[in-house]
Structure formats: structure tokens, C-alpha cells
Amino acid sequence: MSKKNIHPNSLANLIPNSQRTKEELQEMGRKGGKASGKAKRESIVTISIDTVQGERYIVRGRTPEKAAEAVGELEEELFRSWHRMHDNEGE
């Protein structure tokens, strides 16, 4: 945001961090951390996968690409697991 978009009275209300108490700075940090965590959680892409056997897998990623990559890895692992189970049936 550039200064030309800020109302002149708003600048007069700003308090430099050097003039704030330790408690005020800690509270501001706490609020910022909570807001950051909330934004991070809201930005996660979630994909739900239901298998033929009725199992449900939840895959999460920070971006759609990361979530799709995780889905691919899950599919590979399920495929390997299925083959391990069926390869051992004859023994």
C-alpha cells in the first residue's frame, strides 16, 4: 500500500514499535501468529478419496499441484499394498 492511499489522520495515529511496551509487542505478535495460522489453514487444498473397499483417504497440500502429487503417491502406495496382499495369498 502506498502512502498516497493512506488518510493523513491515519498516519498521525501510528505508534512506532520502539514506543510500545513489551506486553503490547507480545500481544501484537500473538495476534499476528494466530492470524497467520488461520490464513495458512484456510489456504490448504483438501482432496477426499473413497476407495472401492469403502475406505476414505484425506490428502492435503499447500497448492493444488502439491495435493495432486500427494494423491499420486497415495495411489502408488495403495497399488503396491494391494499387490503385496494378493501376492501373499497363494503362500
Report angle CA 10, 38, 26 to the nearest 5 degrees.
Answer: 55
pLDDT digits (tens, 9 = 90+) for 14-73: 888 899 999 999 999 999 999 888 877 777 788 888 877 788 888 888 788 888 888 888
pLDDT on residue 31: 92
Nearest alpha carbon to residue 71 among 83, 80, 61: 61
pLDDT on residue 22: 94
pLDDT digits (tens, 9 = 90+) for 56-89: 888 888 788 888 888 888 888 888 888 888 887 6
Distance spanning both ends of the chain, measured CA to CA: 69
pLDDT on residue 1: 43
Across 1-91, the runs of DSSP E, i.e. the strands, are 45-50, 56-61
User: What residues does each domain of the chain span?
Assistant: 16-91
Please give the grid coordinates belonging to residue 76.
502408488
Torsion of CA 21, 23, 24, 30, to 10 degrees: 150
Please give the grid coordinates belonging to residue 41.
489453514
pLDDT on residue 91: 58
